[in-house]
Structure 1
Amino acid sequence: MASIKKRPNGSYQATIYVGRDDDGKQLFKYVTKSTMKECKAAAREIEQQLIDGSLSQVDNIRIAEWIKNWIDIHNKQYSPSVIVLYKGYLKNHFRPFFKQMKFKDLREIHIKKLQNELLGKMSSTSARRVMSCLRPILYDALKNRNPMKDVKLPKEEKVDYSDVPTTEKFRAIHSAVKGTRDEPIILLAGWCGLRREEIFALKPNDLNFDNCTIRIDEAYVINDQGKYEIKTTKSENGLRTVAAPPYLMNLINDVIKNGFTLTKKERKVIEITEIKNKEEKLIFPMRPDSYTSYLAKLVKDKKIPKTRLHFLRHYHATWLYENDVLDHLAAERLGHDIKVLKAIYQHLGVQKKETINKKIIELQQQEIN
């Protein structure tokens, strides 16, 4: 029960016991209102929060420090790459904005100001991602007092898929890299739909040359220290076996036998080099981010149609769709949940949809005639 007293200036102050700290010291919350009625109502609200377990005790904690500790505490609940991303948000956005601010001083206007600053230097989609990271962190600290709860996040921009190759552009890309070290990598993305991190985690024992299949069960990803390491695939759906044409299998076999050519600069950034078992060695011993930078330069220098490995994976999804591969089989091949496949990829098959729509109209028209 709160203790309420009248102050010399005529206002009323309630003292509410909220528990003890780690050292056994009693903790109190104080609320001051101009009338007894308002003071009682405010005290009851705090007492109810205490009963519900939603009362926050973070008023004097610095926001930036709380965010840092929150990320550290949750480092096993998110993938290493997400933790690295969140740490980047803290360093580049949250800490510079909140500085030494404490939770007791945080208001909705501060959240809106942060969001506005983000929108001034990045896309709406990127700003949405940063703010989406902040929302659960503030809720854990402030519960229902979270000043962000009524703030609308920026809209997610429509992804520009204009750089996803058409069949003709993919043939041009393939032709440009034919006979080079890049050909099997390009085909693994474009013909098999492998993710970038899956391609660079492949080992000789992942390939079955008799059946022309590739097992995908690992990915070469960034850990929470910002370094690359071999981990299991992105999700349970990512564990799969993919059929590949003999032409591609032979290309990969040649790389296994003869090695993957690396420049001096590329050799310096390899982080997995001490594997002695040949079957456990990486077929393409290169960091995924290094290859992304290399491919961007290659596209520019050779005047290849603009692309990225991720867009080649989109191309493969479109190719499956255009060739009437059943949704559940396409999802399995790409290592996706079927709902995700439909949401992300099927908008790419515009021409296919138009053809189907025309066919539907024709069939229905025939019924009338």
Structure 2
Amino acid sequence: MASIRKRGDTYQIRVSVGYDVHGRQIIKTKTWKPEPGWTGRRIEKELNKAAVRFETDVTTGHYVDGSIRFEEFAEKWMKEYAEKNLRPKTIARYQMLLSRIYPAIGHIKLEQLQPLHLMEFYNNLGEAGIKRAEICQPLVDIDMERKKQNIAKTELAQKSGASYSSVVNACKGLNIRRDSAEKIVKALGLQWQKSFQIIKNQEKLSSSTVAQHHRLISSIMEAAVKWGYVLDNPCRRVQSPKVTTKKGVTLSSEETIRMFSCLADAPEKYRTAITVLVYTGLRKGELCGLKWTDIDFAKGILNVNGGLEYLPSIGLYQEAPKTENGKRSIKLPKTALSVLKEHKCLQTEDRLKLGDRWKDTGYVFTKWDGSPMHPDSLYQWFSNFVKRNDLPPITLHSLRHTNASLMIANGIDLATVSKRLGHADTSITARIYTHAIKEADAVAADALENLFLRDRKA
């Protein structure tokens, strides 16, 4: 039977549900507060009703402990679910999103979280300056400071815990995030005040980033419903923030030919890497994660078995594909096979020259000593290459889009395109490449029109 304790102007209802494995009694509690102006008799009557309802809910398994605060439950969800089921990069991304979520709604109890709280938070995320004072400008030559201490950029990234791209940008004198700047300063033993200055940032978060916050909160609250903490997920009653999609930058066939012409004078390793990306549509991590055992030169097949990823907390690590379709085999054209064969011969020469100093990792794309090439180093090289050669503002990932768009434009069926890209299903491919599909459809319509006109004239 439920017991009742008076605590100031509230009452605590307690119900025992047995004992745990250590013999300790398990007590479920609920705080009840009477409405202002109620008489003693009314309070006693309503309190007894509440006690009976609470005891019934507990004994029938319908009791939900929504008094836990959002931050406390989210941390529990991260530990019990996310860290056991999700990929390291996803977990790192969630932790970054939660750093914004907690100050806004972390203090609110699950049972009190309302759609209005969420809408106010999303509106705030869309305002200018939400990134606050995260951007810093170097006041000293970071590259010179690291050279004084004989620290390689990769080593500085690992030692500091900052991303490799942040280290590269700092060495170039470019602005970087404050948390990365603080890590780099600490690793180099420099004084913060003399090394960086904070720049007020008026940049807005992208609409897709705002939507990511919503999806994460919704996932956490959905788990709260399933785990019996609350009966309702307030995110269901909030319209997801609208995502403004932009057409990805791709190269036309003429622009791709021009890029290949510019690559003629590029270092062989990078020339080969970019060529393979264009011909296969691989992701950056998938390319850097390739091993020679993944390539069947006799059959002309490239097998994708995962990718090379990087996190400051882990370093470089090999990761399996997200889905079964991500693990795939791609037929290579003669050009891609040819440059890979040449690259393997040159790498063998380097291995023989270095002897014991060569690290036999088996990766296709490596640093000078055979250790795996950092994905961010390829990204940085290509970014500089694009600027030097006055190419359209493309990134490494644009080459994947270029590959897909060129296949669609040349009449390759969507199922084949989707399979080569490693998408979970064709609907993803159709959604991403809607513009390319429409253009191909328009070309097909014009081709039919020209065919019928030609027939009529004949």
| 1:1-369 equivalences in 2 (<5 Å) | 15=13, 17=15, 19=17, 23-32=24-33, 34=35, 50=58, 53=61, 55-59=63-67, 61-74=68-81, 75-90=83-98, 92-98=99-105, 101-103=108-110, 106-120=113-127, 121=130, 122-141=205-224, 142-161=229-248, 163-180=249-266, 181-222=269-310, 225-259=313-347, 276=360, 280-284=362-366, 285-336=372-423, 337-358=425-446
Q: 1:288-343: per-residue Cα shift (whole Å, max 9, x none)?
A: 23322332232223322221122211111112112222222222222122232222
Higher relative contact order structure (alpha carbons within 8 Å, sequence separation ≥ 6) = 1
Q: Is the 8 A contact 1:14 1:30 kept in 2?
A: yes
The CA deviation at 1:239 is 1.6
Q: Is the 8 A contact 2:66 2:230 kept in 1?
A: no
Q: 1:148-192: per-residue Cα shift (whole Å, max 9, x none)?
A: 33122201212332x111212222222222242322222222211
The CA deviation at 1:244 is 1.6
Structure 2 Cα separation of the partners of residues 216 and 240 of structure 1: 5
Structure 1 Cα separation of the partners of residues 58 and 231 of structure 2: 12
Q: 1:3-22: per-residue Cα shift (whole Å, max 9, x none)?
A: 8999999x9x7946373686
Corresponding residue of 1:269: none
Q: Is the 8 A contact 2:247 2:435 kept in 1?
A: no
Q: Is the 8 A contact 2:316 2:374 kept in 1?
A: yes
Amino acid at match of 1:27: K
Structure 2 Cα separation of the partners of residues 237 and 333 of structure 1: 9
- Structure 1 unpaired stretches of 5+: 261-272
Structure 2 Cα separation of the partners of residues 55 and 363 of structure 1: 71
Q: Is the 8 A contact 1:14 1:43 kept in 2?
A: no
| Stretch moving more, 347-356 or 125-134 | 347-356
| Stretch moving more, 310-319 or 222-231 | 222-231
Q: Is the 8 A contact 1:173 1:305 kept in 2?
A: no
Q: 1:119-145: per-residue Cα shift (whole Å, max 9, x none)?
A: 124122210011111112123334324
Aligned-pair Cα RMSD in Å: 3.8
| SS of corresponding position for 2:308 | strand
Q: Is the 8 A contact 2:283 2:397 kept in 1?
A: yes
TM-score when normalising by structure 2: 0.65
Pair 1:223–1:8, CA change in 2 (3 A): closer
| SS of corresponding position for 1:27 | strand
Pair 1:62–1:210, CA change in 2 (3 A): same
Corresponding residue of 2:159: none
| SS of corresponding position for 2:299 | coil
Q: Is the 8 A contact 1:275 1:281 kept in 2?
A: no
TM-score when normalising by structure 1: 0.79
Structure 1 Cα separation of the partners of residues 62 and 246 of structure 2: 38
Amino acid at match of 1:232: A
Structure 1 Cα separation of the partners of residues 91 and 391 of structure 2: 35
Structure 1 Cα separation of the partners of residues 234 and 309 of structure 2: 35
